[in-house]
Amino acid sequence: MKTHALSFALSLALAAPLAAVAATPAAPPSAADAHAFVERMNADYKARYVEPSAAEWVAETYITDDTQKLTARANERWLQWLSAEVEQARAFEHTPGVDASDRRALDLLKLQTAMPAPKNPAHLSELTALGSKLTAAYGSGKYCTNDKDPASCRTLDDLSAVLATDRDWDHDLDAWAGWHRVGRGMLKDYQRFAELLNEGARDLGYADVGVMWRSGYDMAPDAFAKETDRLWGQVKPLYDDLQCYARTKLAQKYGERMPKDGTIPAHITGNMWAQDWSNLYPLLAPYPGVGGSDVNARLQAQRDAAYADLRKGAKGTPTPLELATLEREADLKSATAMVKRSEDFYTSLGFPPLPASFYEKSMLLRPRDRDALCHASAWPMDLGSTDMRIKMCIRPTEEEQYVIYHEMGHIYYYLAYKDRPPIFQAGANDGFHEAIGDTVRLNLTPAYLAQIGLADKAAGDDKALLNEQMKLALEKVAFLPFGLLIDKWRWGVFDGSIKPDEYNAAWWKLRREYQGLSSPVAATPADFDPGAKNHVPTNVPYMRYFLARILQFQFYRSLCDAAGHQGPLATCSIYGNKEAGAKFWKMLGEGARQPWQATLKEMTGQDTMDASAILDYFAPLQAWLKEQNRGQSCGWH
């Protein structure tokens, strides 16, 4: 039997046309054949994955025409291989007795990429070339006030820093509009890209690529869409309370310049996409000056101290080049310390230390001599090995520190499931993957920050608690409608209900409807503001982040239970708690081997995503917001 199974698998591996298999008078494939196929496919998967991941790493950390070509080719080969495997797996569609795990592996094969390959080879080449081109365009995007003078150019990091720290309306408008020009060149390419994605999805049997993306949740795609609306319905009242309060305070500051329709202009939220408003905390704190301490200032001071040290060690009068090198060394020291701080949290739970190669191979700073895609990401380079890296352009800010904890969540997920078959090396669903580091972030309470020297000893009274809740709500609650609408927009693009000439208008319609936000500028026909958000040109599905915002509070609540936490949930930190750590690690180790509902149940006792955890968490703040909003006419039109 074994020999038969192997030879069957081998003939498939040699890409024998299905027709030929069907034409052989041999018996239909058996469950053992299916098993052999899955084993061989997993082995090939691991062997082949190395090439596209290495090519993509180089393409994103060293953007040139050449690296774009190399990654496009590598992706083409990878997607071709995946399609061939999917095709072969069809032979087992009706095979009786296939083991549940093999059946799941066969089903998951179709969902291994967000970029399904069209069968037409020319179209596949075109698709991967467009994918690399859009990624490179975003990664190398800059705002130059004088096109002939590179010194006038500012990167996304520079422009984001303006929005984060400068509350001047016009400065923010300039930075916001400058960055959004990056989207303009992408309109035509994105339109074609969407067509080709749809072609690939149809070739796999899906109505469009949006349906395909919605099929990765162990439930029918329509049911999944409904589920996201249900969750949004649960949290919308909390968001609306926050929006109302924020816009009232902003109106006090900006007066007549604020729109009269109740919306908040997108450029004054402290963030390029208005997805995280925590930079507005100084303006919105319920009790200014109570509790909390300036993590930004401490991180900056630590970076400056590193520089001062290096400067002291330098002999004579350094040249400008030597000084620049010292600055760079200080930046790297500071960034590395920030990463180690995050690693320390994970190891305190009993998780293993990061492999040495992590620090050798990660990219922690924006390269000085070339373009790179700085949007933070975490990479499992070779499935099954410990070559795992992050790619970030770290600056010494509180926001970036929390992004590091987020990325580290991905890394520890990779580490926990690295010995599973490649096809199960994924989150229980993609929302889980995004929720791990965020769950850890919820444990970074004022008491924890004080413990690790990033804040003064916490005050712990009611006023401090409300301030803390406001700060976190600006990060977590403000994000919710944004997390939802990105893919509402893409689903519409993919199913054709949003036509190319309405791309931008439909984007702003959703921004207004869900976020209560408006564009600060009148759009031109060339504008393509979705292109100014990383995940659109880089083709990363976004609903995962919405799910993660809900899930992380569920995870946090059950980990705090496991840790035996007493008192208000918001004061819980599982730092150093091995029981909670073991529970967490077990969940991570499951990867995607079973439906996420089962994994969620093991972890939380619930088998559905449920916003009651986030709502309970923010109940004190919501009550306070309602008080503040009394007498205001909330809402927007």
User: DSSP letter at 95?
Assistant: -
- How far is the C-alpha of 573 from the C-alpha of 556, rounded, in Å? 9
Q: 264-265 and 517-518: which strand pairing? A: parallel
Q: Which of residues 355-414 bind Zn ion (CB under 5 A)?
A: none
> Does the protein bind ligand X8Z through residue 604 (CB under 6 A)?
no
Token pair, residue 392, equals: 């970030």
**CB 406, min distance to ligand X8Z, A:** 6
Q: Is the Cβ of residue 269 or residue 552 nearer to Zn ion in the bound state? A: 552
Residue recorded with tokens 């066969």: 106
- How far is the C-alpha of 272 from the C-alpha of 310, rounded, in Å? 34
- How far is the C-alpha of 201 from the C-alpha of 494, rounded, in Å? 10
> Does the protein bind ligand X8Z through residue 552 (CB under 6 A)?
no
40 binds, among Zn ion, ligand X8Z, none (CB under 5 to 8 A by kind): none
Q: Is the Cβ of residue 110 or residue 406 nearer to ligand X8Z in the bound state? A: 406
- Considering only 403, 436, 480, 609, the residue that binds ligand X8Z (CB under 6 A) is 403
Q: Are 276 and 483 in contact (CB under 8 A)?
A: no
* Total of residues contacting ligand X8Z (CB under 6 A): 6
545 binds, among ligand X8Z, Zn ion, none (CB under 5 to 8 A by kind): ligand X8Z
> Does the protein bind ligand X8Z through residue 545 (CB under 6 A)?
yes
Write the DSSP string, 33-82. Answer: HHHHHHHHHHHHHHHHHHHHHHHHHHHHHS--HHHHHHHHHHHHHHHHHH
> Does the protein bind ligand X8Z through residue 376 (CB under 6 A)?
yes
The residue sitting closest to ligand X8Z, measured at its beta carbon, is 376
Site string for Zn ion, 414-453 (x = CB under 5 A): --------------------x-------------------
Q: Are 244 and 627 in contact (CB under 8 A)?
A: no
403 binds, among ligand X8Z, Zn ion, none (CB under 5 to 8 A by kind): ligand X8Z
**Which residues fall within 8 angstroms of residue 553, CB to CB, at 6 or more apart?**
442, 611, 613, 614, 617
**CB 71, min distance to Zn ion, A:** 20
- How far is the C-alpha of 171 from the C-alpha of 175, rounded, in Å? 6
Active site residues: 375-376, 406-407, 410, 434, 535, 545
- Considering only 132, 263, 377, 554, the residue that binds ligand X8Z (CB under 6 A) is 377
**CB 178, min distance to ligand X8Z, A:** 19
Q: Which of residues 235-294 bind ligand X8Z (CB under 6 A)?
A: 275
∠ CA 178-179-182 to the nearest 5 degrees? 110
> Does the protein bind ligand X8Z through residue 190 (CB under 6 A)?
no
Q: Are 34 and 92 in contact (CB under 8 A)?
A: yes
Q: Is the Cβ of residue 241 or residue 434 nearer to Zn ion in the bound state? A: 434
> Does the protein bind ligand X8Z through residue 30 (CB under 6 A)?
no
Long-range contacts of 72-76 (CB under 8 A, 24+ apart): 72/125, 72/128, 72/129, 72/131, 72/132, 73/128, 75/115, 75/128, 75/131, 75/132, 76/117, 76/124, 76/125, 76/128
**CB 377, min distance to ligand X8Z, A:** 6
Q: Applying CB under 5 A, which residues contact Zn ion?
A: 434
Q: Applying CB under 6 A, which residues contact ligand X8Z?
A: 275, 376-377, 403, 406, 545
